[in-house]
Chain A
Amino acid sequence: MSVYLDHAATTPILPEALSAMTDQLGRVGNASSLHGSGRDARRVVEESRETIARALHSRPGEVVFTSGGTESDNLAVKGLYWARRAEDPRRTRILSTPIEHHAVLDPLHWLGTEGAKVELVDVDQVGRLDLDAFRAAVESDPESVALVTVMWANNEVGTVQPVAEVVEIAHAHGIPVHTDAVQALGQLPLDFAESGVDAMTVTGHKIGGPYGVGALVVRRELQPTALLHGGGQERDIRSGTIDPPAIAGFAAACEIAVAHQPELSARLAELRDALVDGVRREVPDAIYNGDPVDRLPGNAHLEFPGCEGDSLLMLLDARGIECSTGSACDAGVPQASHVLLAMGSSEEFARSSLRFSLGHTSTRADVDALVEAIAPVVERARSAGIATRSR
């Protein structure tokens, strides 16, 4: 058995989600068909939609099923930008942060090549959006802002973003706000209605649900321009045959994740603190990145000066301990994390980090195994670091 400390990448499926999914896999019925089998499939989808809406405090009609986080982010960023600009051609600016997931940053970059003016407002050293700078960016010319997109909590360093304040500033000028809440769901209290955000990305496999299914929760008043044209199955915003087994699994996971969130968060925060304390006891010069308090309870992002993150990862992997360098991977080619660079880290330091992320199956034994292994691993990686460092 491996020690799995990479729940931010994906998390083991919950038994309830697995059975909800497998119950549906053997059944026939296109949810868009008009006969009995179709109606049965549709019923599973709509009950799942209601379950998710209840869990996230949204209306069922606001839940648009997608293939996951990346599609939801693309739909929100591109779709809302296109729709808002179509209403008023002056709206060419998009405000965001440099620490977004690539599923947001890359669509933004692409829109930039298509004429959008993308402004990434600075974050501070712990990776939290600079609200004064954000307010100034909005107020410099609010009419020209098509969209604001700020993630709920960062996937690499775990820092929670001031989404409520962002919403307040943007809404004062009628600007819609999208948030990528993929990492936050199940780890932080998430209330779509109360948050005031206009669109929110969530996905199944980060909360004990299946891969390949997620949702964009988007207020009914907003109609993002579709990315996928076809049957118009999901509010005409998203086309493609609906996937009842995946959606049933997602709903089962979502319901449990939200119901257990307060208890899970408390447990994970305690485990996480034990992990950080234990690692820093063994490796005193390890640096704890991100906001020490206002962060995802399951996230521990640590920098080990003098080590290459990928050496550490490999040595831990050889001991059955699985974690992440927390950086974007292009076919496994490690790159210095754009998040750490945006937080003011040097390229060298940005390559010295590991992300340990805890989730619903994490135990004290996992943490103890890491703490026991870390000192010799760091020592070894440090001596290897010198070998490949650029001169």
Chain B
Amino acid sequence: MRVLAAMSGGVDSAVAAARAAEAGHDVTGIHLALSRNPKSYRTGARGCCTIEDANDARRAADVIGIPFYVWDLSDRFHEDVVEDFVSEYAAGRTPNPCLRCNEKIKFAAVLDRAVALGFDAVATGHYAQLRTAADGTIEMHRARDMAKDQSYVLGVLTQEQLAHSLFPLGDTPKPEIRAEAERRGIAVAAKPDSHDICFISDGDTGGWLSEKLGSSEIGVNRSGSIVSTDGETLGTHEGSWRYTIGQRRGLKIGTPAADGQPRYVLDIEPVSGTVTVGPRSALAVAGLSAIRPRWCGAVPDGPLECTVQLRAHGDEHRAVVLVDGDQLSVDLLDPASGIAPGQAVVVYHGSRVVGSATISATRRAA
């Protein structure tokens, strides 16, 4: 096969490219330039977006012995991921930009372009496993290394996208990948794992959003009240985007709760700027609704007994999912806590990903 290996400059995608090449595929490496104004050097542990990362990816491609190019997708990334991220926060939701990037960039813009250019598949360093079922369906399963499993952020991929995807790392624990990179002479073996949001270089999401939204015309209140569930005003804040449901730290409320227990963000109402806080028990969620479903294969027919995951690296919850057109209704058999609209619910059957949807509302436990 002709394979396009997306190389971030990190160790995982480099080993993925090396494995694809070693498997006999005709591999070409690409680095995605996603930032409009790339910084020269990495700050912290982010896996992409600087010129140093592009150079690391190029060096890895040299070592593997494959051609290498940089594709500029900064405009598409900005439109589809960054702007969406900002407007989701403005609407009081908590988006996951990695899912969005996989859905719109890596396995859409890049994959479409790759197929048009004559490639058969795109290989990435994601930790997930693909298996072909008896009927020819491509199934996506959790990675063998559950600590690194990334099937959650890939839950948006459709059968068509999976048919053109390769995840060469899914069967291997991460420490072995590092050792393999070392053995292969890939210099980035010691590079730290990337985490957080790649386009917020200092990791300060609240500050970054303040810059984007502080002077915005989107109708977001710069400041507002922090209120209790009884409607009592406990304090003020400078931008509801600084909060996410389930957040405990940084509330800066002067008066302690009557019972002395810590308080958590329960609800965010971006238009009035009201942030509601309350006890941990009020975060418990018994069910949720979700929209914009994306199915990896067949659409579930009737109530599906399954497990769901509600955030990256979050727990599995037993659940019953009912699909009604573009709506999902999820009853949680194991209660969840601190679930924010905007996050994705990814539906699993055993280790297999069934599909995903965006959480639109939650139902509090009685």
Given A333-B38, A384-B112, A384-B114, 12 other A-B residues pairs in contact with their CB atoms under 8 A: A310-B70, A310-B71, A314-B117, A318-B28, A330-B51, A331-B54, A332-B54, A335-B72, A380-B117, A380-B118, A384-B117, A386-B112
Knowing A331-B51, A331-B70, A333-B33 are in contact, say whether A384-B113 is a contact too (CB < 8 A): yes
Contact A332 B116 (CB under 8 A): no
Q: At the interface, yes or no: A38 with Cβ under 8 Å from chain B?
A: no
The verdict on A169 contacting chain B, using a C-beta distance below 8 Å, is no
A128 to chain B: closest CB distance in Å?
29
Q: How far is the CA of A271 from the CA of B230 in the complex (A)?
A: 83
Inter-subunit contact B79/A391 (CB<8 Å)? yes
Nearest neighbor of A314 in chain B, beta-carbon distance: B69
* A390 close to chain B: CB less than 8 A: yes
With A314-B117, A317-B67, A380-B118: A388-B109 Cβ-Cβ less than 8 Å: yes
Inter-chain contact B70/A332, CB cutoff 8 Å: yes
Say whether B46 faces chain A, with CB atoms less than 8 Å apart.
no
Q: Which residues of B contact A335 (CB under 8 A)?
A: 72
Contact with A along B225-268 (1 / 0, CB 8 A): 00000000000000000000000000000000000000000000
Complex CA–CA separation, A68 to B112 (angstroms)? 42
**Contact between chains at A381 and B51 (CB < 8 Å):** no
- What chain B residues lie within 8 Å of A314 (beta carbons)? 28, 67, 69, 117
Closest CB of chain B to A106's CB: distance in Å?
15
Residues on the A chain within 8 Å of B113, using CB: 311, 384, 387-388
Cβ of A256 under 8 Å from chain B: no
Q: Is A328 an interface residue (CB 8 A)?
A: no
**In contact, A381 and B117 (Cβ under 8 angstroms):** yes
A334 at the interface (CB under 8 A from B): yes
Contacts of A390 in B (CB 8 A): 75-76, 79
Determine if A383 is an interface residue (Cβ-Cβ < 8 Å): yes
17 contacts between A and B (CB under 8 A): A310-B69, A311-B113, A311-B117, A313-B69, A314-B69, A331-B38, A331-B51, A331-B54, A333-B38, A333-B72, A384-B113, A384-B114, A386-B112, A386-B116, A388-B73, A388-B110, A391-B79
Partner of B70, one of A334, A383, A386: A334
Residues on the A chain within 8 Å of B71, using CB = 310, 388
Among B75, B79, B116, max chain A CB count under 10 A is at B116
CB-CB under 8 A from B114, the residues of chain A are 384
- Taking the closest CB of chain A, its distance from the CB of B10, in whole angstroms, is 16
| Closest Cβ–Cβ distance, residue A321 to chain B (whole Å) | 13
Q: A333-B38, A380-B118, A384-B117 are in contact. Are A318 and B109 (CB under 8 A)?
A: no
**B residues 27-63 in Cβ contact with A at 8 Å:** 28, 31, 33, 38, 51, 54-55, 58
Q: Interface digits, B127-156 against A, CB 8 Å rule (1 contact, 0 not)? A: 000000000000000000000000000000
Bound complex: CA of A311 vs CA of B79, how far in Å?
21
Residues of A within 8 A of B (CB): 310-311, 313-315, 317-318, 330-335, 380-381, 383-384, 386-388, 390-391
* Bound CA–CA A386/B113 (angstroms): 8
Closest CB in chain A relative to B199 CB, distance in Å: 15
CA–CA, A243 and B197, complex, Å: 48
Instruction: Give the Cβ gap from A203 to chain B, nearest Cβ, in Å.
Output: 25
Question: Is A331's CB under 8 angstroms from B55's CB?
Answer: yes
Q: How many angstroms between the C-alpha atoms of A335 and B38 in the bound complex?
A: 12
Contact indicator A310/B72 (Cβ below 8 Å):
yes
In angstroms, Cα B116 to Cα A390, docked, is 17
Chain B proximity of A155: nearest CB distance (Å): 21
Using CB atoms, name the residue of chain B closest to A390: B75
Compute how far the CA of A163 lies from the CA of B28 in the bound complex, rounded to whole angstroms: 44
Q: Are A380 and B116 in contact (CB under 8 A)?
A: yes
Determine how close the nearest CB of chain B comes to the CB of A79; give it in whole angstroms.
Answer: 27
For B33, give the chain A residue with the smallest CB separation: A333
CA A318 to CA B55, docked complex, whole Å = 21
CB neighbours (8 Å) of B117 from chain A are 311, 314-315, 380-381, 384
Q: Give the CA-CA distance A387 to B76 in the complex, in Å.
A: 10
User: How far is B115's CA from A311's CA once the two chains are assembled, in angstroms?
Assistant: 12
Which of these, A310, A387, A391, contacts B116 with CB under 8 Å? A387
Q: Which A residues are CB-close (under 8 A) to B67?
A: 314, 317-318
Q: How far is the CA of A334 from the CA of B72 in the complex (A)?
A: 7
Q: Chain B nearest CB: distance from A48 CB in Å?
A: 35
Question: Chain A contacts of B72 at CB under 8 A?
Answer: 310, 333-335
- State the CA gap A324–B43 with chains docked (Å): 32
- A72: min CB distance to chain B, Å: 25
For B33, what are the chain A residues with a Cβ–Cβ distance below 8 Å? 333
A176 and B161 alpha carbons, distance in the complex (Å): 61
Known: A311-B113, A387-B116. A333 touches B76 (CB 8 A): no
Interface 0/1 of B149-169, CB less than 8 Å to A: 000000000000000000000
Residues of B within 8 A of A310 (CB): 69-72
Please name all residues of chain B whose beta carbon is closer than 8 Å to the beta carbon of A386 when the two chains form the complex: 112, 116
Complex interface: chain B residues within 8 A of A332 (CB)? 31, 54, 58, 68-70
Structural contact, B76 and A388, CB atoms closer than 8 A: yes
- Considering the complex, give the chain B residue whose CB is closest to the CB of A351: B72
Most buried by B among A331, A381, A384: A331
Task: Give the distance to chain B from A229, nearest Cβ to Cβ, in Å.
Answer: 27
